[in-house]
Each structure stands twice: as C-alpha cells, then as structure tokens.
C-alpha cells in the first residue's frame, strides 16, 4: 500500500510534472513475467526516477546502510526503503549477501520485476565502473531476462553529497532484453559469471555512453581517499572546489 500510495500520490506528480524525465525503449520492458532491470547508478534520485516511469512495480536491491541509519534522516530513509519493499544488501562479504540474493530470487520466482545496480554503489565521478557478478548469478539461477537501463543526467542533477536535485534534463533509456539461457546450469562457474556480468555492463555502456573504468567503484573511491595530495597542497586547509569538479 505504501509503495502505490507514495508512487502515485507523491512521486508521479513531483517527478513527472517537475523534472519531466524522457524515457526511451519502454517497449523492451515485459508487460508480465519476471525480469531483472540492471542499470548504472549515478545518484540517490535513481531510486525514484526509474520506478516512476514504469507502470509495473520494481523491487530494488539497496545497500544495508539505507536501512540502518540513525537520526531523523536515517529513520526516514529506512522507513522509505522498507515501505517500498527494498531488499537490504550486506556488502561486508559474500556469505552476508546470500540472504539478499535468495530474497531477490523469490521476487523473480513470483514473476515480478527486480531492480539492481551491478556497480554496487553510486559512481562518485559520473563514470561507469566494473559490475559485480551477483546480477549474473541471479539471472542464471532464475532464468529471467536482463533489461539493461541507463540513467542519463541524474549525476548532474544530484551527485553524491548534494541534498536537493537540480532541474536538469534527465533521460531513462532501456535496452533490448539479454537472454543468458545458453549458460543454464553454469551459475557456479566464476568465468561464466564474469562473462555474463561484463556483457550486461557493456549493454549499459552502449546505452549510457559513459566512460568505462575496469575496476570496482568501491576500490576506486578508496584509492581516491588514500591518494597523496598534489605537491604544494596544504593538507591542513584543503581547497574546496564546487560543482562537478568537486564531485570528480
């Protein structure tokens, strides 16, 4: 009830009439039956923009931190993601994430739509990063087709760290379904999972036309934090750039 109330009463009027996102490739989404929508992840607003434009309900995998926040903001965020039926993903290790995978497979077994961001986290600089193999495991175990999706403009609208989105043009682009039935029964083979994931990420790349980085986003972000400051940079009083350069 919360999902349909929030979507139809709050999100649709706000996002469709204010932001007016453009949608391409809607014909690639099935009108019934299970499917995995795999997209790039540029902004917190991705969680709202895509579902608003799709008539069918989409259940998303979301990081555990969205469900365990403290303070007023943390409690409101947790209540929202629980209300829309989000599936918390513990990213501390493979075994910790297995429960989320099993729950996601249950969504597909019921013939519903599952949304997932294979990068595992938001891009901190607007580029597309290497996908994690969980999406491939779900596709092979469920037999569901994968619909690649590209969010375009949401990074400029609301990059990481920005509270309120800017009014900029936003496009949501869906690609043709990817069928991996040729790999049936091979979901335990690491090389197969990697190949399927890379094929999905390439399909997203063609739609989004981002620059691709062949490393995980979490590793790239960690390396950025550990990088030494440039020569002559005052560590005690760092410069504070703004806008897109700050996000980069």
Q: Domain residue spans in the chain?
A: 22-225
Q: Is the pLDDT of residue 209 over 70?
A: yes
pLDDT of res. 163: 80
pLDDT band at 231; cut points 50, 70, 90: low
At residue 52, does pLDDT exceed 70?
A: yes
| pLDDT reported for residue 241 | 41
CATH number of 22-225: 3.40.1130.10
User: pLDDT digits over 132-182, tens only?
Assistant: 999 999 999 999 999 999 999 999 998 888 888 888 899 999 999 999 999
Q: What is the spatial distance between Cα 201 and Cα 203, in angstroms, rounded to a whole number? A: 5
pLDDT of residue 164: 80
pLDDT band at 224 (very low <50, low <70, confident <90, very high): confident
Least trusted range by pLDDT, from 128-132, 151-155, 231-235: 231-235
Measured between alpha carbons, how far is residue 153 from residues 22, 74, 111, 125, 193 in Å? 10, 26, 31, 13, 30
208, pLDDT greater than 90: yes
Q: Nearest CA to 45 among 97, 117, 105, 107?
A: 117
Using alpha carbons, select from 54, 33, 61, 25 the residue that is nearest to residue 143.
Answer: 33
Residue 243 has pLDDT above 50, yes or no: no
Please give the pLDDT value at position 246.
39
pTM over 0.75? The answer is yes
Cα angle value 234/237/243 (rounded, 5°): 105
Binned at pLDDT 50, 70 and 90, residue 247 comes out as: very low
Window from 26-40, 46-60, 74-88, 153-167 with minimum mean pLDDT: 74-88
Higher pLDDT, 87 or 193: 193
Average pLDDT, the chain: 84
């Amino acid at each position: 009830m919360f999902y349909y109330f929030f979507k139809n009463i709050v999100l649709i009027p706000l996002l469709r009439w204010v932001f007016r996102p453009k949608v391409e490739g809607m014909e690639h989404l099935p009108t019934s039956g299970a499917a995995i929508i795999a997209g790039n992840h540029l902004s917190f607003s991705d969680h709202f923009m895509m579902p608003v434009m799709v008539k069918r309900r989409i259940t998303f995998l979301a990081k555990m931190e969205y469900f365990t926040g403290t303070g007023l903001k943390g409690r409101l965020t947790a209540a929202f993601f629980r209300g829309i039926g989000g599936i918390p993903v513990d990213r501390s290790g493979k075994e910790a994430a297995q429960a989320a995978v099993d729950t996601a497979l249950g969504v597909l077994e019921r013939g519903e739509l599952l949304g997932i961001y294979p990068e595992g986290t938001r891009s901190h600089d607007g580029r597309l990063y290497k996908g994690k193999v969980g999406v491939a495991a779900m596709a092979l175990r469920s037999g569901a087709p994968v619909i690649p999706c590209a969010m375009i403009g949401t990074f400029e609208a609301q990059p990481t760290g920005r509270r309120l989105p800017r009014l900029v043009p936003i496009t949501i682009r869906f690609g043709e379904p990817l069928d991996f039935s040729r790999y049936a029964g091979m979901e335990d083979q690491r090389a197969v999972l990697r190949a399927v994931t890379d094929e999905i990420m390439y399909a997203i790349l063609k739609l989004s036309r981002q620059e691709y980085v062949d490393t995980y986003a979490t590793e790239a972000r960690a390396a950025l934090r550990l990088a030494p400051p440039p020569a002559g940079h005052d560590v005690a009083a760092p410069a504070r750039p703004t806008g897109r350069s700050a996000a980069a």
